[in-house]
Structure 1
Amino acid sequence: MQTQRNGNVDQTYMKAEQKAAQYLQQLMKEVDNQTYANRLANDFHEWKKDHIHHPLKRLISHSTKSYAKHYQGYLSQLDTSGKLERYLERSIAYLYMRDLGKALNSQGTQERIKKVVQSIKPKLLANTSDSQELFSMSSLYKEAQKEGIELTMIWVMNKLKDVSAHIPEVMDAEQAKRKLIKLIAGVLMHAVEEMPESITNEERRQRLDQAIRLGYCYGMTYPFIDDLLDAKVLSEEETKQYTNNIRTALTTGVVPDLGVWEGENGELITYIHKELREAFEYITSQQTAENLTSFLEQAYVFFQAQESDRLKNLDNKDYTNEELYIPVILKSASSRFIARSVLSTEEDEGFEERTFFYGIYNQLSDDFSDMFDDLKNGAVTPYTYFLQHHKHRSDLLNPFELYWAVITYLLHDVYEKDELTREVILDRAINGLKRYKEKNGLKKYNEVMGIFAPKNSAFQQLVQNMVKKADEVDFLDKLLRDHILAELKKNKQEKEEFSSTAKEVRGKINNVLPLLKGDSIENDPIIDAANHSLVGDGKRLRPIIMWMVGVKGYGLDEKEIFPLLKSLEYMHTASLIFDDLPSQDNASYRRGRPTLHRIHPVATAELTGLFLTQRAIKEQTSLQAFKPEKVVEVIHYSAKLTEEMCKGQEMDLSSRGEALSLQQLNELCYFKTGLAFEAALVMPAILANVGEAEITRLKAFAYHAGIAFQIKDDLLDVEGDETKLGKSPGMDEENNSSTFVTVLGINEAKKEMWQHYCKAMEELENLPPQLRFLTFLLNYMIHRDY
């Protein structure tokens, strides 16, 4: 059976290779005879009627440079000018052609495109503020809720986080995540397109769940096969062992055991092997026997073509045009075949031919954009090889000319001169050159055009005139891509700044927390006990938040609010000491150390907790830089906070063994956890003399964030790792406590956590922009593993 399968995939590859060779010969003939230039010139003359406007119109049109920052404003402008629907129609038509392999001259396809446009148009225009993210985690989760696939969304978000955490430093984790999301979206598009209108809600939910999981599983190959191998993270021996394992899986249909890994990347490969095995087994489990064969064959073609390119050396002067282009044709086509085959959907008439011939068009466009990055990395693409060797190899095929020959072949021989297809493909081609010109500058653009100029100077001049003069050629996917990349970059930078600041602040807090002997006359044993609890490996989350809100958010002086930071941590530590006592939770470990009552008498632990609450008030009285009435307000708020936290702890103790309702659990959580987060936000806001309306919003944010935090704690108590938690998991069950997990179950608890996450994000949108960093806090709360 294995030998037969090996023979089948090899035969499939040879057959695909022969077809690619025939296609290449046809394209080369077009280039040699320059017939493509004449045919495409006629297409351009028809096309430009809708794209060459009065110079004044071009001057007032938005440049692509502004899209990333003002994409919603740009869409609003298009809507006001009556151009939005046409813009969306060509954008969606392009996706139908590229991702779904559809023929645009089909009436059914055109009706579907119009229907999608009418569906997404109000969503795109709904948010007029750039601060509201169309693709934020909260908005995606809300969409998932509407479809009943919340758990699927939670699963894939956790997977994306996990993958990002395992991307080696030499690779781009954000780009890997973006590519994964794009592939998931592509498979999801296929699934939605194939759904009949009569489908039940449950059937729709199941198909969407399957599509997201299949998209993720297929997408995993890009960061952990293609990108990993391209980045040369593995040694030569490791690469050989790794690629052999992949080839074995594709030829046999079974992932081999990893075996003994000799290289230094053993930990990384162990993780990747486990994830890829699970992904491969999920994909294959969803296939019929016939579709499984198709999937394995196309995956093998893709992998072999990629390997053929990867093994090339840019310094080799002797590669033929066939060696350069045939793998490009194969991998670009097979990647789209795979995306379709994983869903086991029926193919439209002509799908296979359209997909096979179309792929290289997109690949050549992408390679053109990335040519200098590829050249720097030593990657062999048609463009990098031409750059390196065209002066000494007159026989080399100019990839830019081939690109136009491909377009000509698609328009005339594949899509049968369809007007909408012409509109979309030529819009896309000119838009790509415009974007390249804007990104790299006129000087660089002219230099590149000089190198890759087609032999037909009249055609080259026509193209450049279109680049200079044509407008209304932009696309929604590029607009959103620019915006998403800008946001990812911005978020990454802000997250790094947040993490760096938090680490720095944590160090400062740790330095000032320990109490010095001699501060009090007879209390040295209690100070020793207090310091034992204070110097443990605490996250210091609450005082860090307080510092961020006070200093970064409201501009308070760091030195002047340090007593407030200390007071909050003293109060929090006191609450933990009481919480851990034998009469309460009877915990053995806290912050990675034995709990206080295990190394001191219980009475000493109790007195230490009381001592720290009083010490917190003492710190607050030393806030001398602020108005006395504001300091009194902080002390009053703090005293009330302590009262309510005690009430919450008593509620917790008295409810053990009882089944609480969700409402009771939320109330308990607010008293035990939410109030501490609220204090971190509200106390510096009081000192900053913030208005009551804003403080109310801060409290609402803290309420939902605190509950989300507590639910995550409850989940970690069931699923967490003791070495990361710094305390023993399973304490809630041991103490017979009602938690979100015991009341709702694990899955419903996760959904409840995300519900509060979304509500907290809604409150955050109404807070000042300088508090944007609270987004990272909220994300940390639900994604942490300790």
Structure 2
Amino acid sequence: MNEELTKNAEVCYRLAEQKAAHYFKSLYVQVMQKTYVPILTKDIQSWKHNHIHHHSLLSFFSRGKRKPDVQEYRSYIQWLHYTGKLDNYLDRSISYIFMRDLGKALDSPDTQIRVRRAVDSLKNHLTSSNEKNRGDKTDTVSMAGLYRKAQKEGVESTMIWVMDKLKTVSANIPKEMDVEQAQRKLIKIIGGVIMHQVEEMGDDISPEERTRKLDEAIRLGYSYGLTYPFIDDLLDAKVLSAKEKKQYSDLIRTTLITGAVPELGEWDGNNIYLIRYIHSELRDAFEYIKAHQRPETMKSFFEQSYVFFNSQEVDRIKDLSNADYTNEELYIPIILKSASSRLIVRSVISAPEDEGFDNRTFFYGIYNQLADDFTDMFDDMKDGAVTPYTYYMKYHDKRLDLINPFELYWTVISNLIHNVYHSDTKTCEVILDRAINGLKRFKERMGTQKYNEVMELFACENPKFSSLIQSMVRKADDVDFFDKLLRDHMITILKNERKEQEDFLDTIETIRSQINNILNIPKIENISLMKESIIDAANYSLEGDGKRLRPIVTWVMGVNEYGLNKSAIVPLIRSLEYMHTASLIFDDLPSQDNALTRRGRPTLHQVYNIATAELTSLFLTQKAIEEQASLDQFDSKTVLNLIRYSAQIAENMCRGQAMDLDSKGKQLTLEQLNMMCFYKTGIAFEASLIMPAILANAEELEIEALKKFAHYAGIAFQIKDDLLDVEGDPILLGKSTGKDAENNNSTFVSILGQEGARKEMWEYYCLAMEALQEVLRNTTFLKHLLNYIVNRDH
């Protein structure tokens, strides 16, 4: 590595360290002199009038609606709105974000206007969402919801890109790390960069420029945010060996010092495949950030990034068994990393230098870091991590020189309110709200007994001040924040989604295995002397590695949702797969798509001959009708209705295939293609939902809702097929790619291009998700089926 560059980086770090040391010295003096006690006592005495309410008996009975648990996202928002508390709740929440994430001073008239505008916008969104989605089974933090927002801003292609990236990142996070927390952090960073970009845009920006800047912000946010799971969290986790950590850290350090990502080279360790993926992804992210830096901000970006990384490394190598760390060694890296992490965001978007922002962010960072370290102290102690709290817990009775981090925390608060934000009333309100809220949340999570033990250990030396703080923790109300609600809500969603997806895949695999065992068509005994090639051919096609999605959907809907007897609907399960397999045999014929492989094996007409394939397809169609007529545990009129519906489905599938054949060599309109795809693909998907509903005598309204869902989901499925034919892996697909172009077929890709087809698929995904709201049953399986449809690789 270039010695001059290394020296420059070290000089940059030492200068930052000197500034942090100066800040720490001023805090140290305030701690020693206990100046924070009288100042904050006065602040809290004034503050508490807005937060300790003495309810009369009359007001108790008039309150009406019970306060829900803070973590009940939608119910809690409704309650706040109902009680008239929503405005203040959102005001302190947005004000806090403007301070913490955007580095704004709340006494600025411009900031006040922007906070008010943001509060009004968020309130309108939350209240209208609650009204519109009463009983809604989707969530505000959903792929469909995010895509709809992206459409309004014209960045839907970028949203598709980032959703694909997040999916891949999640799949590559090692099991030793917290996947949901990593996802949340990454999403939070993306959101933070977008917020900064929006603030920098101004109100007079053109729609085209706004779209361009938002696209850039999302990509920059992902590129920067990627460093959290794949640098910070990875180096903290017990995934890499000590040797691998050293090699990986050196690689990151070299990148930040030289401005270029070195080749990975030889990797001595068990995590080579993980590191290869991370190296590739981080290299692309780094190059994207670099390419979007203005020359005047490039230096600042590299300096802040190096300070951030190096201060983390300094902290990371500390050993809790070392009893000799000084106060400066404990706190200065924290000041550096907490400030530089937010300063980088402005560097990332090439925002112009703002001395006020830089100063406020520098002084503010340690407040947030001390609050986080307090929350995580027991997890950190368990991991052997050195933080001011873990170190004090271990050595407070042996090292009388150690600063009590809880006292320093309140000193930082006092310093921020009065020396950084100039005793601004709104700032005082918001920071004290946040501080008391943090203690209340910790107490709720740890339990009263554990909380009291912690407070006894970290109690400030002034008993009256400590008593005042604990009184506020017990009595104060209206100190909660939207970002905390959203954080908890997002983690819950991510965990639930992960569990639901695992359950979905388990269900798919279990039922698929059971279906495979019931599909074989036995030979007729009394003609066993003759070769029955048609049954052999039928079983050959049925034994292929099919996804069995349609019969699986029927099984789940019939058994799990409608409560039908499993053995009673076995004939229906068979009939659906027979019909589907018959349609595939026809589809593969030389007169139609002339496919060579299907389900990972040669197509039927390749193994036998065209005539046998045609007869086998007809044979399976008739076997399907025979199976449906065997549904003897259901009312005959109901079965007749089902067979009539099934015949209509088969007719429409033939119409769709005829449309497909007639369209070869012709340029279809999007409307014509949608119609053809529905008849070819969507109608069969509809059948898998509607047939069990018919057997269960479901209401007509529910059947119509299921048809609407099937219509949209079926077209999304076909668009994904068209995309896979262009960009899929033939091995995973089990068939050759490029057949549509070879056959001169009109597809969503040929009409719209790959990017346009992707947008169209997500549009139908959203329509299908929205249609699920009308289905008055548990739709979790169908939701994950839809996710599978658009995210599958085969």
Q: TM-score, normalised by structure 1?
A: 0.97
Cα distance in 2 for partners of 1:61, 1:39 equals: 39
The CA RMSD measured in Å over matched residues stands at 1.8
Shift in alpha-carbon separation, 1:635–1:520, aligned structure 2, 3 A? farther
Matched, 1:714 2:717: no
Cα distance in 2 for partners of 1:666, 1:270 equals: 41
Residue 70 (structure 2) aligns with: 67
Cα distance in 2 for partners of 1:76, 1:761 equals: 24
Q: What amino acid sits opposite 1:581 in the alignment? A: L
Residues 39-48 or 391-400, more deviating: 391-400
Residue 556 (structure 1) aligns with: 564
8 Å CA contact 2:665, 2:746 repeated in 1 = yes
Q: CA deviation at 1:708?
A: 0.6
1:303 to 280, 305, 309: 309
Q: What amino acid sits opposite 1:49 in the alignment? A: H
Matched, 1:761 2:769: yes
Q: CA deviation at 1:62?
A: 9.1
8 Å CA contact 1:67, 1:482 repeated in 2 = no
Residue 619 (structure 1) aligns with: 627
8 Å CA contact 1:91, 1:476 repeated in 2 = yes
Q: CA deviation at 1:65?
A: 7.1
Residue 479 (structure 2) aligns with: 473
Residue 636 (structure 1) aligns with: 644
**Which aligned pairs between 1:141-156 and structure 2 lie closer than 5 A?**
141-156=147-162
8 Å CA contact 1:102, 1:348 repeated in 2 = no
Matched, 1:250 2:261: no
Q: CA deviation at 1:132?
A: 4.0
Matched, 1:168 2:174: yes
8 Å CA contact 1:298, 1:337 repeated in 2 = yes
Residue 36 (structure 2) aligns with: 36
Matched, 1:660 2:662: no
Q: CA deviation at 1:440?
A: 1.9
Residue 275 (structure 1) aligns with: 281
Residue 648 (structure 1) aligns with: 656
Matched, 1:191 2:197: yes
Cα distance in 2 for partners of 1:579, 1:751 equals: 27
Q: CA deviation at 1:557?
A: 1.9
Residue 157 (structure 1) aligns with: 163
Cα distance in 2 for partners of 1:580, 1:595 equals: 7
Cα distance in 2 for partners of 1:740, 1:245 equals: 44
Cα distance in 2 for partners of 1:182, 1:147 equals: 19
Residue 493 (structure 2) aligns with: 487
Residue 236 (structure 1) aligns with: 242
For structure 2, the residue ranges without an aligned partner over 5 or more in a row are none
Residue 591 (structure 1) aligns with: 599
Shift in alpha-carbon separation, 1:347–1:49, aligned structure 2, 3 A? farther
Residue 50 (structure 1) aligns with: 50
For structure 1, the residue ranges without an aligned partner over 5 or more in a row are none
Cα distance in 2 for partners of 1:433, 1:657 equals: 69
Residue 582 (structure 2) aligns with: 574
SS in 2 for 1:403: helix
Cα distance in 1 for partners of 2:525, 2:78 equals: 64
Q: What amino acid sits opposite 1:111 in the alignment? A: I
Q: Any idea what the Cα deviations from partners look like across 1:11-48, whole Å, max 9, x if unmatched?
A: 11111111111222222222222221221111111111
Residues 23-32 or 359-368, more deviating: 23-32
Cα distance in 1 for partners of 2:330, 2:658 equals: 74
SS in 2 for 1:395: coil
Cα distance in 2 for partners of 1:64, 1:215 equals: 36
Q: What amino acid sits opposite 1:292 in the alignment? A: M
Residue 290 (structure 2) aligns with: 284
SS in 1 for 2:71: helix
Q: CA deviation at 1:523?
A: 6.4
Q: CA deviation at 1:58?
A: 9.2
**Which aligned pairs between 1:159-558 and structure 2 lie closer than 5 A?**
159-518=165-524, 521=527, 524-558=532-566
Q: Any idea what the Cα deviations from partners look like across 1:659-714, whole Å, max 9, x if unmatched?
A: 00001000010011101110111001111110111101100000000001110111
Q: CA deviation at 1:784?
A: 1.1
Residue 85 (structure 1) aligns with: 87
Q: What amino acid sits opposite 2:279 in the alignment? A: H
Cα distance in 2 for partners of 1:92, 1:175 equals: 22
Cα distance in 1 for partners of 2:179, 2:732 equals: 23
Q: What amino acid sits opposite 1:141 in the alignment? A: Y
8 Å CA contact 2:523, 2:532 repeated in 1 = yes
Cα distance in 1 for partners of 2:536, 2:466 equals: 82
Cα distance in 1 for partners of 2:311, 2:344 equals: 14
Residue 97 (structure 1) aligns with: 99
Q: What amino acid sits opposite 1:502 in the alignment? A: I
8 Å CA contact 2:68, 2:76 repeated in 1 = no
Shift in alpha-carbon separation, 1:470–1:163, aligned structure 2, 3 A? same
8 Å CA contact 2:144, 2:765 repeated in 1 = yes
Q: CA deviation at 1:649?
A: 0.8
Shift in alpha-carbon separation, 1:368–1:63, aligned structure 2, 3 A? farther
Shift in alpha-carbon separation, 1:479–1:451, aligned structure 2, 3 A? same
Q: What amino acid sits opposite 2:13 in the alignment? A: Y
Q: What amino acid sits opposite 1:189 in the alignment? A: M
Cα distance in 2 for partners of 1:63, 1:479 equals: 18
Residues 513-522 or 719-728, more deviating: 513-522
Q: CA deviation at 1:610?
A: 1.3
Residue 142 (structure 2) aligns with: 136
Residue 779 (structure 1) aligns with: 787
Matched, 1:9 2:9: yes
Shift in alpha-carbon separation, 1:390–1:605, aligned structure 2, 3 A? same
Residue 25 (structure 2) aligns with: 25
Q: TM-score, normalised by structure 2?
A: 0.96
8 Å CA contact 2:67, 2:76 repeated in 1 = no
Shift in alpha-carbon separation, 1:276–1:753, aligned structure 2, 3 A? same
Q: CA deviation at 1:632?
A: 1.3
Cα distance in 2 for partners of 1:408, 1:64 equals: 32
SS in 2 for 1:68: coil
Q: What amino acid sits opposite 1:667 in the alignment? A: M
8 Å CA contact 1:354, 1:414 repeated in 2 = yes
Cα distance in 2 for partners of 1:698, 1:513 equals: 26
Residues 519-528 or 71-80, more deviating: 519-528
Aligned length: 785
Cα distance in 2 for partners of 1:301, 1:72 equals: 41
Q: Any idea what the Cα deviations from partners look like across 1:270-290, whole Å, max 9, x if unmatched?
A: 111110000000000001122
Matched, 1:733 2:741: yes
8 Å CA contact 2:500, 2:780 repeated in 1 = no
8 Å CA contact 1:191, 1:343 repeated in 2 = yes
Q: CA deviation at 1:78?
A: 2.4
Cα distance in 2 for partners of 1:623, 1:379 equals: 64
8 Å CA contact 2:371, 2:438 repeated in 1 = yes
SS in 2 for 1:545: helix
Matched, 1:124 2:132: no
Cα distance in 2 for partners of 1:161, 1:105 equals: 41
Residues 154-163 or 446-455, more deviating: 446-455
8 Å CA contact 2:67, 2:79 repeated in 1 = no
Residues 1-10 or 433-442, more deviating: 1-10
